[in-house]
Amino acid sequence: MSSTITYNPALKIIETVYRIEHGPQELFEVAAATLSLARKNQCRRFYGDCSELLLGNSMTDIKNLVTFIKATGVDYNDKEALCIPTAPEAAQYFVYFEELCLQQGFRVKVFPSRDEAVAWLLED
């Protein structure tokens, strides 16, 4: 797994930094590891730095990821903010992920910068 997943006690958020390229299996593994760390720390806020991520996925893979996340029993009070790549061809996958998550009742939002993402996470 080429991503790093840490708990930030100062902000009380789980931070996942995705690196380079992830196929569907890697995304599922990162999601499971992220949720495990969150449960261990009783954390409900997630920041994903996807700015360097190159997806080797289809829109179907993204839909399957949302289905997988839902099946893990994610709480609808959880919040996830994603800092997305600037390239439109990569960013479209994250916008689609956000739309699918919102349709499922999850609080997920994409942002162009870490500062905006973390500010949203720390609201309420």
**What mean pLDDT, rounded, does the chain reach?**
89
CATH of 4-122, one of 3.30.750.24, 3.40.309.10, 3.40.640.10, 2.40.440.10: 3.30.750.24
User: Could you tell me the pLDDT band of residue 1, with boundaries at 50, 70 and 90?
Assistant: low
Distance (Å, rounded) from C-alpha 13 to C-alpha 21?
24
Q: How far is CA 92 from CA 21, 34, 44, 88, 118, in A?
A: 16, 23, 25, 6, 21
Distance (Å, rounded) from C-alpha 97 to C-alpha 3?
19
Residue 9 neighbours by CB distance under 10 Å:
9
pTM confidence score: 0.88
Spell out the domain ranges in the chain.
Answer: 4-122
User: Could you tell me the pLDDT band of residue 80, with boundaries at 50, 70 and 90?
Assistant: very high
DSSP state of 20: S
> pLDDT for 30-48, tens place per residue?
888 999 999 999 999 999 9
